Every structure is written in structure tokens, then in C-alpha cells.
A and B are shown apart, each in its own frame.
Chain A
Amino acid sequence: MTALVLLVVLLPLLGGLTVAVGASSFLTGTAMVAGGLGAFASAVVLAVRVSGSGAFHTWSGFIYVDSLGAFFALVVSLVVVLASFGSVAYISAEEERGEFSHFQVRLYFVFFSVFASAMLAVFLTGNLGLLWTLIEASTLASVVLVGLEAKARSLEAAWKYVIISSFGVTIALVATLFLFYSASALHLSADQRLTWAYLFAHGHSLAPASMRLAFLLAVIGYGTKVGLVPMHTWLPDAHSEAPSPVSAMLSAGLLNTGMYAIIRYQAIARAALGTAYPSSILLLFGFLSVFLGVMFLVLGGNFKRLFAYSSVEHMGVISVALGFGGVLGIYGALLQVLTHAIGKAVLFLSSGHVVLGYRTRESAKVRGMLGSLPLAGAVLLLASLAVAGSPPFGVFLSELTIVRAGFAGSAVVGPVLAGLLVLLLVIGFISLLATTLGMVAGDGPPAGSVVAYPKLSGRVLAAVPLVGGLAALAVLGLWVPVGLNELIMHSVKVVL
């Protein structure tokens, strides 16, 4: 099992290592994709084994895998696979155009690998101190990717990203300190006082005052990484300025690492303080995020910023689901994590086609994609339908579950909140679709004038994640596979 955990964490580094020793771009691409696929396969095996035989821990809790961790590792390793395909195509296309120097390309692959590896490691540790360190490490690795273009705008975005999210992560450090402090009365060793499983099991004997503070600070601190309003301000800039595969990794991977930390803290807080306090905090931040995300969707403009605000909205929906709580709420939240991750990865990767083909990020300047870039246009339309929550895609199913969880909640408040959520989601649906329909339909530039990927190999590599991801989303909308359903049910039991 230890070997399996190490495989999940270390295999994504394969691509970075190959490029660091100066291998050819073909070899690097192969290693990137193979490393991602290997990590995904290991995560699947890990999930199956954990689902069957319960949590696994070793190295005094520094390695700790339960169903929840395995589920998140599965989701993020899938995102890494999709983004690896996208990266190889996107970066080599940019290099051939002369947008990126050879040095920038090497920098990209090395830090992409480190970023992926740090994110996956977050889910496989039970020590909340190590979890903090890994989340900070993933921030540092991704800063380089955000600022890679080294233009004034991307450097500004990188600055904003690192200073806001590091401020947030510093707050999360204070949360970790208070959590550690709240366990003072327990006779545990220093490392055990930070191990999630011990804290969860002894939740009732944690000092309530400092636990309350620890949870609030954790939601603010890790919420900065998640992009919860009002700590979300770095998110649209970073997502819009980063190369598209990195935007996919940020939106579908990084945000989930923060959400994972919040789920862990919520479980401890629920054990220590009861349901009401953590739920009300998550509902507050969740609704703020959904509201603001939807409002910016209405405004339109830069389509990558738009997709970023859609991430703010979706992270808000997940927080609301966690706030609704219960088996249904947490099940819906986890399903939403999976479906949003796949949908947003596909959406950002297809936006990479647009950026390369039209050389703009303004949605008003993109018209007639169905004629000029048929595959990317079709995928962009279908993926935005999926992300906005239209049947028959997975997001519809998870959002339906969340709304049901709201109606199943407390007598008056639950249904009112669920109704409000539906209203906001409908507004979001209309606004997102209005923008992407405008980009896809209409009279575009003549065929042949817009070329995203000049080479056949690039076209094939870039098409794989789009088609694969969209197919997975369609399947998830109709039917949640038995094994996956079981894994999510086990994950729900872990935190309840």
C-alpha cells in the first residue's frame, strides 16, 4: 500500500525529470502523459483497496489514506491526465510559434510536474501540518506557471495570486495552530495532535472556544485557495493569464485541495461543536460565492475570466452542499467535486483552442467557432452546457442531489435556501450559455484562417482530453458506476 501511495505522488514527477535531464520534446511528452496515466491507475487501485479494507495509515499518520482521500486523489489525478495531454499539445504549439522559449518550456514541464505531485500528496496524508505545507508548496509551484508568459499582465496576476493566497495560507497556519492548541488537554504526542484521525475520534474533548476559531480561520484561510467570496479576487486573474492547461489544473485541481482541507476541518468541527456552527459558516460563504460568481457571469467579457467565475460559483455550490450536510448533502458535494472537475478541465482545455486560434481572450471577438474550429466549438458548447448544469451531464445530477439535500433539511430554512440556490443556478445557466453560444454560432472568419494546432499530432493530442472528458461527463449524468458510488458512500461515512 505504501508503494501505491508513493506511486500516486511520484509518477507525475516523471515528466519533470525527463525534461530536467534534457530529453527531446517527444520523450518529455510521452513521459508526462505516461506519468499522469500511471498516477491515475495507481489512484484507482488505491481507491478500490481502501474501499474494500478501510483506511490505511503508516509512518505515524504522515501517510493516511481513507475513502475520502482516495476519492479526491482519483479526481485530481484524472484532471492531471487531461491537463497533461492538453499541455503537451498547447505548449509545443506555443513553442513553434515562438511565444515560448525553450527555457520557458522546460520551466513549464518541471513546475507542472511538481504542482501535480504536491496536489496529489495533499490527499494522502493524515497530518494537518503536512497538509498545510503541501498546499503551500502547490501554491509556490503554480505561481511559476501563472506568470510563465512573463508579460506585465501575467506577472501582475502572479503577484496577486501569490500574495493573496499566501496571506490566506498564513491564516490557515494560524487555524492549524489553534487546532493544535485545542487538543492541549488530550494526552497525545505532538504529531498525533495534528493527525486528523485522532482529532476526529477525540472531537468531543477538544477545547470548543479555540476549535471554533480554528474552523472559522480554516474556512477563511483554505477558502482563499478554494476561491470563496470575498477571498476569491486572485482567481479570475490567475485563471485568465495562465496558459489554458494550467487554468484547467488550477480550477479543477487546486481549488479541490482547499475544499478537501475544509471538509476535513468541518468533520472535526462537527464532532467538537455539533452541526449548526460549521454549517452556518459554510452556507454563508457558499451563498456569497454562488451569488457573486453568477453576477459576474452575467457581465460577460473575457471568456477565461468567465469560466473562472463559474468556478467560484461551483465552489460556492459545494460549500452550500456541505452546509446542508447529511448523507445527501455530502454525497452531492463530492459528486459535484468530480463532475465540476471534469467539466471545467474540458472547458478550459477547449478555451486553449480558442486562445491559440483566435489569439484573443475576449468573447466578443470570437464568432463562428463551429465553422472555424468545429471540434473545439462543439466541445466548448457541450462542456458549457454540462458545467452550467444541463441534463444529461453529470453536473445536473450532482446539483439535483444538492437541491434535494436542501429540501430534506430543516423545516423552513432548508427549502428556502434550496429555492434560492435553484434561482441563482438558473441565472448562471442562462448567462454562461449566452456567452458561449455567441462564441460558437454566427458568421466566423473563413475556414482555414483560424488554426489552433498546425500539426496533426498536436490536433490529436489536444482532442483526446476533450472527447474523453466529455464522454465521462455524459456517462456520469446517466449512471454513477457501482464502484464509484460505493467509494463516495464510504467517503461520506468517513466524515459523518
Chain B
Amino acid sequence: MVELSVAVTGSVERLSATSLAGTLVTLSSVLMLLAAFACLGSKLFSRYVVYYAFQSVVLAFACGVVAFHFQSADLWALAFITLAVKGVAIPLATRGLLLERLELRRDVALSTGLSTSLIIGALLTGFAFLVIPPADLPHGVVATSAVALSTALVLLGGLCMVVRRHIVAQLIGWLITENGVFLGAITLVATFPFIVEAGIFLDLVAAVLIMIVFVSGITRSLAEATASELRELRG
């Protein structure tokens, strides 16, 4: 049994990884990882959005569990913002403003095959456990393996951005990375004071990204261009 602790203004809260909260957070992280793999293994834009929405709802749930455990108002706020923005608003906006408007169905701009990217994804997950072995975390928080899993999510999001050249797919990759960062944040440092602000600002970034694609979608020049075709803007 791994004993973990969080320093909260003088007092130390302890919680074992086998407690109910720890189990629920670990379970949520595993589900989030599965959603990321599902994204990597899919070729349909509408699927990307569904998997991302599922992942965000699970993140909101995990956030709620940690919030309940530490009685933290900040984390409750983050859980609700995550559910409302990442779970509902961003998927709906992506589907309504981008997929339907630009008639995006199948993603053909892949630089590797699906199976190759899944294998690379599996290797990255193993790498995450290798660099952040749960046993090595000195005094972590609720669930130790969640930190390694969140690192894996960050890497998988990055992988999505690398192997998919279509900008909407890159957007989803970035959003997965962001989910991974927040999973790490709520498990590693539940008392981090800027977590809500960080959440709001990164949601704003997502909104800006969606808006850029939306605005340029009207001219039809950006959404059809893939990264390899942007020769004029090389650098």
C-alpha cells in the first residue's frame, strides 16, 4: 500500500491509493487514456469529437471526486467548468461550427497508418510509466498511477498533433494534451491555487482556435490546406 500526502498550510492530509477516492481517480484516468487511444485509432472527425467529449466528462468526474475529498471550492468550480465547457460547449461548437459547416467526415491527412500510430501510442504510454514510476513519487496525492497516466495523455495528445495534419484533428490533439495536464494537476497538486484561472484561460485558447478555423473556413482556404501544403509559411 502506497502512503501519499499533500501539504495544506501546515497540516498534512494523507490518503492511500487504495481508498475509494483513489480508486475512482485511477479508474477515471484509465478511461481517459482509453478515449485518447480511441481517438488515435479513428479516422472519422465526428468520432474524435465524441471521444473527446467522453474524456472531458470523465475528467470532470475525477475532478469532482478530488474536490469532494479535499472539500475544495476551487476544484468544484473546475469540475463544473470542465463539464460545461469541455464536456458540452467545445464538442458542440466543434461539431456545429466546424464539422457540419465545412462538411468534414473522413480524415485523410494522416502521415502514418492507424496501427502504426497506435503502436507508437502504446510505446509512449510505456515511456510515461518509465519516467514517472508510481513508486518513485515521494508524497503525491490521491492516485499515483494517475500521474503517469496523465503524462501519457499529454504525450498522446502531442502524437495526435504530429501524425494528423488536418487542423481540426490537431485541435483535438491539443485538447487531449490539455486534459492530460489537468488530470496531472488535480492528482499531483490538488491545492494549486491557479487551477481555475488556468482552466478558464486554456478554454479561451480553445475558443480562439475554433474561431480562427471558423472564420477562415468561410474562405475555405485554411481548412483544406494541410500542414505539408503550407509551403509559403515554412520555417
Contact = CB atoms under 8 A, between A and B. Distances in A.
B157 to A, nearest CB: 9
A361 to B, nearest CB: 11
Interface string B143-176: 0000000000010001001000001001100100
Given A158-B212, A190-B193, 7 more contacts: A140-B204, A152-B219, A155-B222, A156-B225, A173-B198, A232-B235, A235-B235
A468 B191 CA distance: 49
Interface stretch (B46-54, B88-96, B177-185): B177-185
B10 interface: yes
A181 B187 CA distance: 11
A237 interface: yes
Contacts of A157: 233
B222 A180 contact: no
A288 interface: no
Contacts of A187: 7, 10
Contacts of B189: 177, 180-181
B101 to A, nearest CB: 16
Contacts of A296: 235
Interface stretch (A162-170, A249-257, A344-352, A446-454): A162-170
B188 to A, nearest CB: 6
B201 interface: yes
Nearest to A174: B181
15 contacts: A129-B197, A130-B194, A132-B198, A136-B205, A139-B205, A152-B219, A156-B225, A162-B209, A166-B174, A176-B192, A176-B194, A180-B192, A190-B8, A191-B193, A194-B193
Contact of B198 (A133, A152, A155): A133
B144 to A, nearest CB: 13
A129 B193 contact: yes
A264 B186 CA distance: 25
B185 A177 contact: yes
Interface of B: 6-10, 138-139, 154, 158, 161, 167, 170-171, 174, 177-178, 181, 184-185, 188-189, 191-194, 197-198, 201-202, 204-205, 208-209, 212-213, 215-216, 219, 221-222, 225, 230, 232-233, 235
A140 B188 contact: no
Contacts of A153: 232-233
Interface string A148-162: 001011011111101
Interchain residue pairs A-B with the least CB separation, the first 7: A129-B194, A152-B221, A236-B235, A155-B216, A166-B205, A136-B201, A190-B193
A152 B222 contact: yes
A163 B209 contact: yes
B201 A152 contact: no
Contact of A170 (B138, B177, B232, B233): B177
Contacts of B201: 133, 136-137, 140
Given A181-B189, A184-B7, A237-B233, A162 B194 contact: no
A130 to B, nearest CB: 7
B138 A207 contact: yes
Contact of B230 (A156, A232, A305): A156
A143 interface: yes
A233 interface: yes
Contacts of B230: 156
Interface residues of A, number: 46
Given A159-B222, A170-B181, A190-B191, A147 B233 contact: no
A315 B130 CA distance: 34
A155 B167 contact: no
Contacts of B154: 174
Contacts of B7: 184-187
Contact of B170 (A143, A163, A173): A163
A189 interface: yes
Contacts of B181: 170, 173-174, 177
A151 B62 CA distance: 42
A162 B198 contact: no
A166 B201 CA distance: 10
Contacts of A160: 233
A163 B8 CA distance: 35
A167 B212 contact: no
Nearest to A136: B201
Task: Tell which of B202, B212, B215 has the most Cβ of chain A within 10 Å.
Answer: B212
A166 B202 contact: yes
Interface in A229-260: 232-233, 235-237
A379 to B, nearest CB: 26
B70 to A, nearest CB: 12
B178 A170 contact: yes
Contacts of B225: 156
Contacts of A129: 192-194, 197-198
Interface in A176-201: 176-177, 180-181, 184-187, 189-191, 194
A140 B205 contact: yes
Nearest to A305: B235
A143 B205 CA distance: 10
Contact of A233 (B6, B167, B219, B235): B235
